[in-house]
Structure 1
Amino acid sequence: MSTPPLASGPEGPDALRPLLDTVLDALAEGTAARGGPLPAGGPGQVAQRLRTALGDPLPHHGSPDALHTLVRALAEGAADPADPLCAAHLHCPPLAVATAADLAASALNPSLDSWDQAPAASELEALVAQALAHLVYGTPDTPDTPGASGARGTQDIRADALVTTGGTESNQLALLLAREKHHGVQLVCGAGAHHSLHRAAWLLGLPEPVVVPAPAGILDPAALDSALTDLRGPLLVAATAGTTDAGLIDPLPDIADLCATHGARLHIDAAYGGGLLFSDRHRTRLDGLAHADTVTLDLHKLGWQPVAAGLLAVRDPADLTPLAHRADYLNADDDTEAGHPDLLGRSLRTTRRPDILKIAVTLKTLGRHGIGHLVDQVCAHAHELADLIAAHPGLELYDHPAISTVLFRPRGATDDTVAAVRRTLLDQGRAVLGRATLDGRRWLKATLLNPHTRPGDLATLLKLVEGHTPR
């Protein structure tokens, strides 16, 4: 048996070319076989088709057809975020250029735990992460940064950012940094805050979080003021810029002012809404963001990156000191003193792939204006969908969207009916809608992240809901 070729090195590109043709053909065939946003048949049939394609997952002898067979099976059984009728989650269709860059990252396979494994990738990560931190916090030549003046004055241009696997890891890191700076810190968050914050508090052994009422889905400043007045000890307030359920944005300037008044640390989870920073039209929605001590960003949402593409922006890089760690084989003292970068303090993970490459390629290819245009497009699509729902006598709109999430339900339907309509569309492979519970009622959720969506696609989505609602 011959030794399989490698993906990198002088012969790597020639070894990859025919394999890429195989992958692309299999993707096309699987997509055509699926014929919609989701495979039909529900979990049981999808699982059986996959089992049939896989066969023995650890055979004694391999098969040269495995790449085509399994890629085709995965494509046929995928929920395809590039289909306009796949609109349930913050699950974006990745840009082709970002996906191509991700291939290069996989082929070169740098590991960002020591400089000698990632000489160029480590420098690329440092430069791009800092640029994105400055997008949040501003620089002397960007006075229009959202929230760059007010409660906490001018921003510190030393701001930095760490690359993470997404919002969950970023939120966990934010709580860890707060705990290390303020021992015994207690989390205070709104009722609509992401579940990862509560999980992080549990994981880090912090006191039970204080949950502040969030009428209409956003944190109530008066209730927060009352809580901060009554509570004792160091406090970390977590606000949200783009809730998972409805894409709502907490009143960030008011919250920042309250944190300054009460001496509380502020974290803003902008995993969803952070993408508005790229849009000249919408970035003022994030006024107050720059007053946060830490900010979660997630570019595999409103950034059109393949998973994973998260960041944690930090206003004061000194807050990152607790992450410092020494392992002689990775960051020996004499190597660091000789000028080799110390990378272990950039993450709690050791082995890390260069997720920054796809981000950097996207930023350089599209520029801030190009990404902002994509943001503007999906926000406009959400408003178009909301207008269609508001004009439809058989549908009820929750509210006009704050970002690109639209909640609606068949008028007069019970919560059980709403859930059943969604499952029916899923099992038939016709449409992928999410669900959310607000104001004590269940809603269908459309999260629009596909800039190629057309008005006709939106109308089709509503016709499918209407046609599958029992009357």
Structure 2
Amino acid sequence: MPNHFTGWFLDGSDISVNSYNHNTTLANQSLLQHVANLEQVYSGMSPAQLATQIAELEPCPEQGVELSTVIQEVEQHILQNSIKVSAPLCIAHLHCPPLIPSVIAETFISATNQSLDSWDQSPAATLLEQHIINWLGNIFGYDNQADGVFTSGGTLSNLMGLLLARNHATKKHFNIDVWQQGIPAEAHQFRVLCSEEAHFSVQQSLALIGMGTNAVIPVTTDEHKRIAISALDAALEHCKQNHLIPIAIVGTAGSTNFGSIDPLQELAKRTQQHDLWLHVDAAYGGAFILSDKYCHLLQGIELADSITVDFHKQFYQSISCGAFLIKDSSYFNLIRLHAEYLNPETDQINDIPNLVTKSLQTTKRFDALKLFMSLRNLGRKVFAGMIESTVLLAQQIAAEIEQDTQLQLAIKPTLNTLLFRYIGDNLLTDSELDIVNEKICQKILMDGIANIGKTRLYSCSYLKFTLLNPNTKIDDLRKILNILKHYAFEEITF
């Protein structure tokens, strides 16, 4: 009896191979068409228009549609209305253009479908991930006691760091194993200190692990938007006077808005003096470890108990791809669980590496392959050169904004992100300028010219350039500055 399901899976049969070759060719043609014109960053379709169009697509018809037709539909409705992340003027967020080796690796990852929870589901993949983790620990200054695991990104990595910090503190202060016994009532005294510019996932993490967002003590920053050490000392003294228990300090190595890097060595001194956990969120700035010119900005990161690093930012990897690193591998025991059907304790005795023992995810993608192929292909010097070029670009355009009487720079950039706003002839109030800046930001996107960011600073609306793309040139930025000034003039005049 013939198998009616032959050809639906890439199983080596002639029919599956022919279908794969034919349809990947169509898909590649659609993709190349998508990136053929990077002058237009977005189609300009409004959310309502796009929702109406997509609603017409039946997700699961009674009878299936030819794959070639589905690919055409994706091209028409999805690709044509997607942000072009490789466009030089796609500069709104920490959202990078992916490297070609990363894109090619995605094919291997999807087709082989390795599951990095147990070794018997991903033999070579498990060992390559561990190999890359060992390399990462080394470049960040850890010794051979270190360990880590790939994650979906910074939010999950920060969650893991704060989860381990909480479990470690509970064991230290109350001799309670949270993983077995739960959170004691006394843990309501726990506090985590971080910069007021720290990523929102610090608060989110503490909410998820039962401490609540009120357990975060945001510390004021200095003129460079780094955590102010005097304010940190005052916050630690406040904890002491009010019978609160600080358990961790989170250092930020690359804040989302400013690219600011906290004084990591000073933070390490405080954590050593007060016996606290030091977690460094280097999701944005971690890539600077590859640069001989800028790696000094991360001095002290090797003293952290745990580190977050993202690769779908300045390592130019396709989403999602991140890692969580830990200075002492034994801390993973604080979240270790065993299941007989997946990672029995006998596997650990027999040195079978099941990565699920140190992860909050069970099924996990082989994202390490993307980073491996990219690093092998480009090498450190090319990676460093790309990152350094974007910092130079940020410095150049910041200097020009400072000289433009119609624009106002927030502060000089530390890395490759900068905030500024249109002020015109200084005849409008701040609230009026807020409306103008928000409208020109939206119009630039809907006209397909650029994707620039916006945020709030000093109670005002600011525009944001996040210059991750090494193919963005100074003339591209000059062009967008001229356009936004023209749009602002029209908005004010009419």
Normalising by the residue count of structure 1, what TM-score does the alignment of the two structures yield? 0.91
* CA distance, structure 1, for counterparts of residue 39 and residue 474 of structure 2: 20
- Find the aligned partners of 2:21 and 2:309 in 1 and give their Cα distance: 34
Aligned pairs (5 A) from 1:99-118: 99-118=103-122
Query: Match for residue 437 of structure 2?
Result: 418
Q: Which residue of 2 aligns with 1:61?
A: 63
Secondary structure, counterpart of 1:349 in structure 2: coil
Task: Please report the RMSD computed on the Cα atoms of aligned residues, expressed in angstroms.
Answer: 2.0
Secondary structure, counterpart of 1:328 in structure 2: coil
2:252 alignment partner in structure 1:
240
1:310 to partner: Cα distance: 0.8
Partner of 2:456: 437
Change in 2 beyond 3 A, CA 1:13/1:381 = farther
**1:11-90 aligned within 5 A:** 15-31=19-35, 36-52=40-56, 55-64=57-66, 65-90=69-94
Q: How much does 1:194 deviate?
A: 0.7
Q: Return the index of the structure with the highest Cα Rg.
A: 2
Is residue 362 of structure 1 aligned with residue 359 of structure 2? Answer: no
Partner SS, residue 342 of structure 2? helix
Mean alpha-carbon deviation: is it higher for 86-95 or for 415-424? 415-424
**2:143 paired with 1:131:** no
My pick for the range that moved more, 68-77 or 123-132, is 68-77
Give the distance between the partners of 1:254 and 1:334, measured in 2 at CA.
43
Cα distance in structure 2, aligned partners of 1:362 and 1:220: 37
Aligned residue identity for 2:252: T
Kept after mapping to 1: 8 A contact 2:38/2:87: no
1:275 equivalenced with 2:264 (yes/no): no
Tell me the equivalent position of 1:467: 486
Distance 1:423 1:210 in 2: 34
* Number of the residue aligned with 1:249: 261
Are 1:173 and 2:175 counterparts?
Answer: no
Does the 8 A contact of 1:30 with 1:73 survive in 2? no
* Cα distance in 1, alignment partners of residues 369 and 51 from structure 2: 34
Query: Where does 1:220-231 land on structure 2 (aligned, <5 Å)?
Result: 220-231=228-239
In 2, are the aligned partners of 1:29 and 1:72 still within 8 Å (CA)?
no
- TM-score, length-normalised on structure 2? 0.87
Report SS of the residue matched to 2:451. coil
Q: How far, CA to CA, are the matches of 1:68 and 1:374 in structure 2?
A: 35
CA deviation vs aligned residue, 1:5-47 (integer Å, no higher than 9, x gap): 4236576665433222111111233456896111213212233
* 1:60 shift after superposition: 1.3
CA contact (8 A) 1:137 1:159 kept: no
Work out the percentage of aligned pairs sharing the same amino acid: 32
8 A contact 1:137–1:157 mirrored in 2: no
Letter in 2 for 1:175: L
Letter in 2 for 1:330: L
What is the CA–CA distance in structure 1 between the aligned matches of 2:198 and 2:51, rounded to whole Å? 33
Equivalence for 2:297: 285
Measured at CA, do residues 8 and 111 of structure 1 come closer, stay the same or move farther in structure 2, by a change above 3 Å?
A: farther
SS in 2 for 1:364: helix
Distance 2:354 2:255 in 1: 35
In the alignment, what sits opposite 1:182? 169
Show CA shifts across 1:32-75 (max 9, x none): 689611121321223334345xx211111222211232144221
Report Cα offsets for 1:107-142 as digits up to 9, x if no partner: 10000111111010000011101111211124xxxx
Find out whether 1:401 has 2:413 as its counterpart: yes
CA distances 1:223-262 after superposition (whole Å, capped 9, x unpaired):
1011112314242011111111121111222222222222
Residue 205 of structure 1 corresponds to 210
**Conserved in 2, the CA contact under 8 Å of 1:190 and 1:213?**
yes
In the aligned structure 1, how far is the partner of 2:194 from the partner of 2:281? Answer: 11
Closer, same or farther in 2 for the Cα pair 1:214/1:8, shift >3 Å?
A: farther
Extract unaligned runs of 5+ from structure 2. Answer: 171-186
For the 8 Å contact 2:193–2:246, the answer to whether it is kept is no
Aligned residues: 452
| C-alpha deviation, 1:204, in angstroms | 0.6
For residue 180 of structure 1, what is the amino acid of its counterpart? Answer: N
Q: Is the 8 A contact 1:26 1:72 kept in 2?
A: no
From 10, 18, 39, the equivalent of 1:7 is 10
- For the residues of structure 1 that align with 2:395 and 2:113, how far apart are their CA atoms? 42
- Structure 2: which amino acid aligns with 1:224? L
* Partner SS for 1:344: helix
Asked if the contact 1:134–1:160 (Cα under 8 Å) also holds between the matched residues in 2, the reply is no
Whether contact under 8 Å (1:114, 1:342) holds in the other structure is yes
Distance 1:220 1:8, change over 3 A: farther
What is the 5 A alignment of 1:119-158? 119-138=123-142, 156-158=143-145
**8 Å CA contact 2:40, 2:449 repeated in 1:** yes
CA distance in 2, matches of 1:253, 1:334: 41
Tell me by how many angstroms 1:294 deviates: 0.8
- Segments of structure 1 that go 5 or more residues without pairing to the other structure are 139-155
Q: Deviations over 1:128-173 (max 9, x none)?
A: 01111211124xxxxxxxxxxxxxxxxx432122111000000000
Query: CA–CA distance in 2 between the matches of 1:436 and 1:464?
Result: 20
Partner of 1:318: 330
Q: Deviations over 1:329-362 (max 9, x none)?
A: 1122344434432322131111111011101111
Q: Is the 8 A contact 1:30 1:75 kept in 2?
A: yes
Q: Deviations over 1:88-115 (max 9, x none)?
A: 0000000011110111011100001111
SS in 2 for 1:137: coil
SS in 2 for 1:44: helix
- Separation of aligned partners in 2, 1:372 and 1:101: 21
Instruction: Give 2:272's aligned residue.
Output: 260
SS at match of 1:202: helix
Q: CA deviation at 1:415?
A: 1.6
Q: Distance in 2 between matches of 1:71 and 1:178?
A: 46
Contact 2:192–2:246 (CA under 8 A) maintained in structure 1: no
- Deviation, 1:434, is 0.8
Deviation, structure 1 residue 292: 1.0
- 2:192 alignment partner AA: L
